[in-house]
Structure 1
């Protein structure tokens, strides 16, 4: 059954859709969104400010706002622009790896590379001082806390406030960065809207990529045969896509979960009518393991084509996908170039998971290596 009723982490009920074809269709359905006519009484997915309470909006308002956001961001994060960032990503990555190899083994790859790389890149793109990254980490972790609504709201308020001050400064002293260009090219946009959009970019621009880089190291450590294939540069993109499709080896998240959206009209799925106002969970992880699309879905192996839905689909396809792919590709190429052997140090089961954060992932990732 591709659709069923499930309880949410916040204690409400939602419709969970898990089939690949059904999830793909709903991702492109403009009757689904983050808006709700009565947000205070809407069913909740989590008690986090991130993907928690919906905002008040009609379907028309939701789609207009989303279209505006796409017009503002899509040119900045185009595949062409992100390809132009590749040399800079490579430079930042090599600097981090230089510092890593100076450490005693085992060293924490999460702290040395996985976390700082996406933060440095998104900060540079947006025009945010990377020196403030420890503050971003605290705010981001607070924002995505699942079990403490007040902590989540405080983290978001601090990040939004910080970005508001930064936007005001860049309005007076623009620079060559995304925030300055958003202000200059969209003068009708209010400062608070640019600040909120920038805060979302800063959060989304590093949290998921950090987890993906860690996941790549874990998966390749468990599948050394795939590690060896990376010495052929043509083999790297398919492995990147499989990392994006695959769930983390330590992932224990319930299969009764997914990306939250609200039905803004009655929607029929597999003969079942989802009433307007109901919460819908799009099971992207489950869809990425649909055997009808991905034979032997639990296996970690390059698949061409690999039509995973990790970045969404249709008009809501993630604008940051090209950047995430560049960062993952550069990381794998650098590791296989610089090291003869590289992988986890110790038992995978001994790793500590970030169970209270929405994105999940690991707290630390100890690794060992042999330099080439």
Structure 2
């Protein structure tokens, strides 16, 4: 068992442009123990890269997200991001999560499928009417999840340009100053606070009204700030990742034309296509949201001491050959589909059923309506963001 490693490597490994997984992850998976890495700011951390190690750290209650507040947490920017539900441990995390969970059950989300398919179809209608080439991000990938989450939460979809700026700022790893970051966060909080007040005066059949009612029923369950931040979190998480993964998935499929041809020939395979792409595409520029050991824990042959942070690379875990045979091949007929694309444990993505549905319907309508889809130019990639993906992706058909 290893207790220390003198080498501390500069992190993250992945390049922001493109979706390739750095070969350094394979080297780390195949080496004994774990490696230590240092992000631009904060203390060094252990890096878990193998599937079983990542799953252990995400699922074991001996690792705490909340403990990061008492440490110099590893991070890509000089300031600390607002914590919210992602920085909580049970029971506080559970208290907030259960209030939202009922809106995103598989059964309830599945009832939205015809509506989501209709939105996706209308967006493709508009693309065809405009004529190619068009930007898939602005014309399709962004408005689809924005319309859905805005309708569910109760946020005006016409405000998307406003909260897209705020959302980008919250996910940025750029040289935004702490003051600039704080201003964007404060503006988004103020915007959401105004909407909360409107819904409190005039409740509707949406998630925001339901959360307001839950707070009114028992004031100890949800503070006003928790209510606002929970709505902010649902809004940002409810559209940003899906809006990024749609063009990511299309880019990968068009880079593997034989795989796209399979989907075009059998659009009903969209669910299994989405699962394989969730495994295959390493979304993050690097691991984030460190977990701190609350006691000594052995991970991957390394003794992680109490108070030490561990970063987990989901992208690396999903390419672990010990779990997924031929991990670097895109294969839609895999029998092993237990990827970690939506995380694991108490912080498993709350909106996973909705994200799956949106991704399935997006790929299905594109394959059916635009079987000749192709990239008209190299994508313009996001940079200095927590997630990787095209900021602009021109396509034709």
Per the TM superposition, whether the score is higher than 0.5 is yes
For 1:268, the equivalent position in structure 2 comes to 298
CA, structure 1 residues 161+48, in 2 after alignment: closer, same or farther (shift >3 Å)? farther
d(CA) in 1 for partners of 2:113, 2:33: 40
Aligned to 1:363, what secondary structure does the other structure show? strand
CA, structure 1 residues 198+131, in 2 after alignment: closer, same or farther (shift >3 Å)? same
d(CA) in 2 for partners of 1:73, 1:332: 27
d(CA) in 2 for partners of 1:95, 1:71: 34
Q: Bigger shift: 7-16 or 62-71?
A: 7-16
1:102-251 correspondence runs (5 A): 102-147=129-174, 148-150=176-178, 151-187=180-216, 188=219, 189-230=222-263, 231-247=265-281
RMSD, aligned α-carbons: 2.4
CA shift for structure 1 position 133: 0.4
- Tell me if the contact between 1:45 and 1:52 (Cα under 8 Å) persists in the aligned partners: no
d(CA) in 2 for partners of 1:52, 1:264: 22
- Tell me if the contact between 2:284 and 2:387 (Cα under 8 Å) persists in the aligned partners: no
For 1:286, the equivalent position in structure 2 comes to 316
d(CA) in 2 for partners of 1:38, 1:323: 30
Q: 1:8 pairs with 16, 30, 39, which one?
A: 39
For 1:277, the equivalent position in structure 2 comes to 307
CA shift for structure 1 position 62: 2.4
Deviation string for 1:24-53 (max 9, x for gaps)?
A: 1211112223212753x523322277x847
d(CA) in 2 for partners of 1:194, 1:265: 32
Aligned to 2:200, what secondary structure does the other structure show? helix
1:12-51 correspondence runs (5 A): 12-36=43-67, 39=70, 41-47=71-77
d(CA) in 2 for partners of 1:32, 1:167: 34
TM-score, normalised by the number of residues in structure 2: 0.84
d(CA) in 1 for partners of 2:240, 2:49: 24
Higher normalized contact order (CA 8 Å, seq sep 6+, divided by chain length): 2
d(CA) in 2 for partners of 1:71, 1:289: 32
d(CA) in 1 for partners of 2:68, 2:44: 18
For 2:379, the equivalent position in structure 1 comes to 351
Deviation string for 1:153-172 (max 9, x for gaps)?
A: 22222112211121122122
Aligned to 1:6, what secondary structure does the other structure show? strand
d(CA) in 1 for partners of 2:73, 2:355: 31
- Tell me if the contact between 1:44 and 1:53 (Cα under 8 Å) persists in the aligned partners: no
State whether structure 2 residue 327 is matched by structure 1 residue 300: no
Aligned to 1:74, what secondary structure does the other structure show? helix
Deviation string for 1:43-72 (max 9, x for gaps)?
A: 3322277x84768x9x9x721111112211
Aligned to 1:298, what secondary structure does the other structure show? coil
Aligned to 2:327, what secondary structure does the other structure show? coil
CA shift for structure 1 position 253: 3.8
State whether structure 2 residue 356 is matched by structure 1 residue 325: yes
Aligned to 2:371, what secondary structure does the other structure show? strand
d(CA) in 2 for partners of 1:38, 1:358: 20
Uncovered stretches (5+) of structure 1, i.e. residues with no partner: none
d(CA) in 2 for partners of 1:79, 1:93: 20
CA shift for structure 1 position 259: 4.5
The count of aligned residue pairs is: 358
Q: Bigger shift: 179-188 or 113-122?
A: 179-188
- Tell me if the contact between 1:35 and 1:264 (Cα under 8 Å) persists in the aligned partners: no
d(CA) in 2 for partners of 1:33, 1:91: 42
